[in-house]
Amino acid sequence: MKVISYNLRKHRAATELAELVEAHGADILCLQECDTTGLPAEIAGLRLAEATQRNRLGLAVYYRANTFRAVEVRSLALKKSLHDYVLKPAEERMLGVRLFDIDHGREIIVASFHAAPLTALNSLRRHQIRTALAALQNLGEGLPTLMVGDYNYPVFKEYLGQKIRAQGYELTLSDSRTYTRYRFFRGHYDFATSSGFDIERIRTLPQGLSDHLPILITAKVSDAHAPVDDDAA
């Protein structure tokens, strides 16, 4: 499947979404910093599963309706940074969706995630990531899980990767940096954590109206999580 994750920079890049989905054949679209009151029910054949409701800048997940069926949705408020207390940009920083794959007869979990900004400590972001991944397991224990989004974690990702692997997940970066607005803060901000998926590639797409570049994740359920064909067995 193909998943696009995009931080819209306060909804500025929303006009690009239909073209992005069509150009890359995306099956799932995960958004951050979107105006959830202005989101359409469909974008280029993808159906809105859910959008957060308590955020000034929210999250949303879209899926291809002829490929998946939404089973359950869960949003989560994570430990707050000082930025959150003062400016209140985001109450809910993770939005997970359990999807039924119609063609393959199995369930997966996909989530959009937006960590606290750079004004917070990496330790806070690690706490948010750890809490979000644990919550997704409660949404469907043992199911293949993919959480993509803006992790706001440009440095010391080796240490983050160790912590994520200890939790049973893998961290995968895109092929080039995803944030270019400020010279000294450029780097990989948008990436994926996964369990039960083989990540074939994560490609950084050309920059549009946002200060973040969208990423395209190509992934498949790993063989260990594939359903058994009784006839073949």
- At 85, the pLDDT band (50, 70, 90 cuts) reads very low
Residue with the larger pLDDT of the pair 170 and 187: 170
Instruction: Please give the Cα distance from 135 to 97 (Å, whole number).
Output: 11
Tens-place pLDDT, residues 25-67? 999 999 999 999 889 999 999 999 999 988 778 999 999 999 9
Report pTM.
Answer: 0.91
Tens-place pLDDT, residues 12-24? 999 999 999 999 9
- At 180, the pLDDT band (50, 70, 90 cuts) reads confident
Q: What are phi and psi of 85, to 5 degrees?
A: -65, -35
Query: Tokens 């959480």 belong to which residue?
Result: 147
Domains of the chain: 2-220 (3.60.10.10)
